Amino acid sequence: MEEPDISLLKMADSEEIVMTAAKRDGKAIMRLERTFISEIDKSKVHHVAGGSYKGILINKTSAGLVDTGPAEGRLEFLAYLVNEGEHNQSLQDHWTLSFWFRGTEDGLVKKNTYTDYFRELMNPADFPKDYIGFIKKALVLLREYSVIQRVELQVQQTQDHSPEDAIPPIRSFTTVVTPAANSFRFVPEVCINQKSFITFKVKAACDVRVVLSSIYGDVNNKAHEIVIGAEGNTKSYIRESANGPVRAESLTMNIVSEENFRYFWINWAHQHLEVGRGAQYGHGRFLRWHVLPKRQFKVNCLAVATSKSSKGHWEFAELLADYKEEDPEVEAGRIAKRARIREQYMWLARKYRMLHLLEDAFPNVVKIEDLVRKCKIHVSDPLVIALVLAELQERGLIKEVVDGHWMRKHGGGPAHKEDEVKLVKVMPVLSSREQPNIAIVTTLFCEKLAVDAMIENRTTFVKCKTEGESQVYTIGRIGKHRVVSTKLPCTPGDVEASNIAAGNSVTRLLGTFSKVEHVFLVGVGGGVLHQHDPDDPMTTDDLVTLGDVVVSMPSNGTNAMYTKCYTREKVGKEGLQYSPRTWHSHDDTLRRIVKKLNEKNVRGVNPLEHLITSALEQLNEIDSKFQKPSIGVSGVETTEELSERGTTVVCGAIGSVSCLDNDERLRMLFAKSNEIKAFDKDFEAVLESLEGNRNESYLMIRGIADFQYGGRKEWQPYASLVAAVYMKTIILALNE
């Protein structure tokens, strides 16, 4: 019996889009690849998407990716980002999108395909909010571009901080591989009929051949040939047509390399044909020929080859903006539209960066010159500064405390019926009955809003200083208890200053309100992703996903509620050894209440969802961002079972491991060995202040915003809300 055609069987097999994250040379890599179901290694799959993302699989993070050879197309650009884990400090990342194709489509079709894919991916109408959104959209789009086999995104942080007003170009790279055969390959995807200059890089042992031709497919008539590294990589020359008479030559020892790419440029303007080293015209010229009038022609196409002694790997670079529309009016309109979109992006970026900076600093004020410097607005453009501040002030989001000193306004915009807010120089003296017995400490502005939504009959006092640290205290009632909430100020980009300010703020809080017995540290954190093993006694209720709550509770006989790893070192055969520090409260009142609430949850009594809905109704008057985002496909999220179970409270230690930031595997090992369920950036200064002020009863509550440190902006408001709701549940149960 005749064997069936394997390729036909594979084509009949259905496909999935598989995403794999990895590291390569210190750069983050995300590979999206079409894979036949029969070829998928199920042991590597971490998440199977459903709903609108059906057909997409997320692999576990890989230690390395299989080499698939050079990409056939590449796009490079700078992405302006905000580092949410470092107080919204602005960053520039260098992003590279590489493409591999399947089938027998020619180079021009491939280039048009990946260009269209990129333009649709970057469409401003539905441009992703963050890196995760970008990956989601890239995955979904890949399903529609069947000729693309694989897309790889590489991200590398760059120290080159270009001015915001200078929009860097998007560069498109076309890859060509030539065999050791002296056979010319035309490259229509490199469009040169409107140009007089090209740059490229090539890797070959010798005999790098480039033909500039007037007629597609013809290298002998109306053609010029440039040969680089001829005669054993010792000479270079210009010929009339392929293999024609030599018109210019130069001694160029070892000018090309089989191991490394070398850059070259070719210019054919003004009746001269010139060739040089590097990517900058005029530098490193080693060939020049004045083309006689009878030998002149319009260059329309390009062909490349390498001799029988060497194969070649070529890359040609263009600016994406160089691709012209046939109709000049259409092209002019497209350019104008792109310029308007850029202006809108820059305006939004300035506005939200300024707002985030003021939110981080709150309750401290920020001088206008510091706003300008940290938001990277040109001082020479005072109109932009004035307009941004005026718009934010008109929306009721910020206020000018004194001339040139600005502060985020407590509460919401003009549509919100604001709580009573009093600016004071000295905190009023409270009677014994008015003194709060519970204090709540937050770090982010959205955390403060969420906590305050839990407080009834509240009044906010802002003790404002133009120099030094300000304080904000919201006093009111939760159930039978008088409470006070505060927000710690932070200095974006200066971790040490922020930690000092945090410790000082807690000391002032406990000194101002001497009747405080219990302290809640409420905010966002990053969950620890433990893979669920069916043979493990751990249930899904012990696992953490987005929107869950982690409460700092000792586990497995340890006292640790919070653990910080300071250093790590390798110790002989035993492997790595950590030097952790732990904290725990000596009074177990709050922990006993958490245990009782957990027992009720086991019996099916869970009031969280009702309280969350009620709090959302109130907070939506201030800001709709508190709604729960869609989990979707983020690359690391979790299983469908976890996604659909609703908000779950998980007990365990909370930790900080700044010394392991760049090693996810070690971070997870540290979490597992110390029973850590969530991480935050670092609360050491706050905990040290609590211990120093003899506070014996405190509890840390973290809403899960991501799987790092809680820095994911999209989830921070909702994570703050669920943490605040659980805090309220504990307070209502206190002294019942």
Q: Are 86 and 147 members of one domain?
A: yes
What CATH number does the domain containing 236 carry?
2.60.120.560
Looking at 267, 284, 319, the residue that finishes a domain is 319
Q: Are 391 and 522 members of one domain?
A: no
Q: Are 128 and 38 members of one domain?
A: yes
- CB within 8 A of 659, min separation 6: which ones? 565, 566, 567, 568
Per residue in 681-726, pLDDT (tens digit) is 888 889 999 988 888 899 999 999 988 888 888 889 999 999 999 9
- Mean pLDDT over residues 232-247, rounded? 94
- Mean pLDDT over residues 23-34, rounded? 84
The answer to whether residue 164 sits within a structural domain is no
Q: Return the minimum-mean-pLDDT range out of 161-175, 392-406, 638-652.
A: 161-175
The answer to whether residue 585 sits within a structural domain is yes
- Mean pLDDT over residues 374-384, rounded? 63
More confident residue, 622 or 253: 253
pLDDT of residue 637: 42
Q: Are 67 and 88 members of one domain?
A: yes
pLDDT of residue 483: 96
Whether residue 83 is predicted with pLDDT greater than 60 in this model: the reply is no
- Mean pLDDT over residues 296-310, rounded? 93
Per residue in 118-137, pLDDT (tens digit) is 888 877 667 776 677 788 88
Overall number of domains in the chain: 4
Q: ω into residue 363 within 30 of 0, thus cis? A: yes
pLDDT mean across residues, the chain: 80
Burial class (CB in 10 A: 0-12, 13-18, 19+), 354: buried
Whether residue 258 is predicted with pLDDT greater than 90 in this model: the reply is yes
In our burial notation (b when 16+ CB lie closer than 10 A, e otherwise), range 613-628 reads: eebbeebeebeeebeb
pLDDT of residue 706: 86
- Mean pLDDT over residues 180-193, rounded? 88
What CATH number does the domain containing 394 carry?
1.10.10.10
pLDDT of residue 280: 79
Is residue 244 within 8 Å of residue 226, measured between CB atoms?
no
The answer to whether residue 689 sits within a structural domain is yes
Q: Are 379 and 467 members of one domain?
A: no
Per residue in 526-560, pLDDT (tens digit) is 988 765 454 554 555 567 888 899 999 986 667 88
Is residue 82 within 8 Å of residue 88, measured between CB atoms?
yes
More confident residue, 66 or 658: 66
Q: Are 616 and 527 members of one domain?
A: yes
Q: Return the minimum-mean-pLDDT range out of 380-394, 495-509, 622-636, 678-692.
A: 622-636
CA torsion sign for 553, 558, 564, 568 is negative
The answer to whether residue 305 sits within a structural domain is yes
Neighbours of 545 (CB within 10 A): 22
Whether residue 1 is predicted with pLDDT greater than 90 in this model: the reply is no
Distances from the Cα of 259 to the Cα of 203, 209, 352, 454, angstroms: 7, 18, 47, 65
The parent domain of residue 505 ranges over: 416-531+544-629+643-735
pLDDT of residue 283: 85
pLDDT of residue 193: 84
Whether residue 642 is predicted with pLDDT greater than 80 in this model: the reply is no
pLDDT of residue 7: 46
Looking at 97, 127, 158, the residue that finishes a domain is 158
Whether residue 265 is predicted with pLDDT greater than 80 in this model: the reply is yes
Percent of the chain with pLDDT over 70: 78
Q: Are 401 and 432 members of one domain?
A: no
The answer to whether residue 503 sits within a structural domain is yes
- Mean pLDDT over residues 79-98, rounded? 62
The answer to whether residue 1 sits within a structural domain is no
Q: Are 525 and 648 members of one domain?
A: yes
Q: Are 37 and 119 members of one domain?
A: yes
In our burial notation (b when 16+ CB lie closer than 10 A, e otherwise), range 98-131 reads: bbbbeeeeebeebbebbbebbeebeeeeeeeeeb
Q: Are 392 and 428 members of one domain?
A: no
- The confidence band for 661, taking pLDDT boundaries of 50, 70 and 90, is low
Whether residue 297 is predicted with pLDDT greater than 80 in this model: the reply is yes
pLDDT of residue 594: 92
The answer to whether residue 325 sits within a structural domain is no
Strand stretches in 217-300, DSSP E:
223-229, 235-240, 246-251, 262-267, 272-277, 285-290
- The confidence band for 312, taking pLDDT boundaries of 50, 70 and 90, is very high
Q: Are 45 and 123 members of one domain?
A: yes
pLDDT of residue 346: 53
Whether residue 416 is predicted with pLDDT greater than 90 in this model: the reply is no
**Of all helices (H) and strands (E), which one includes residue 498?**
helix 495-512
DSSP codes joined into one string, 100-115: EE-SS--HHHHHHHHH
- Mean pLDDT over residues 497-512, rounded? 88
Whether residue 309 is predicted with pLDDT greater than 80 in this model: the reply is yes
More confident residue, 79 or 729: 729
Q: Which of 237-246, 411-420, 486-495, 661-670 has the highest mean pLDDT?
A: 237-246
Looking at 319, 350, 371, the residue that finishes a domain is 319
What CATH number does the domain containing 680 carry?
3.40.50.1580
Whether residue 646 is predicted with pLDDT greater than 90 in this model: the reply is no
Per residue in 445-479, pLDDT (tens digit) is 999 999 999 999 999 998 888 777 888 999 999 99
Q: Are 211 and 140 members of one domain?
A: no
Q: Is the pTM for the entire model greater than 0.75?
A: no
Per residue in 37-77, pLDDT (tens digit) is 888 888 888 888 877 788 888 888 887 788 888 888 888 87
Per residue in 270-288, pLDDT (tens digit) is 889 999 998 777 789 999 9
pLDDT of residue 639: 44
Distance CA 182, CA 203 (A): 16
The answer to whether residue 553 sits within a structural domain is yes
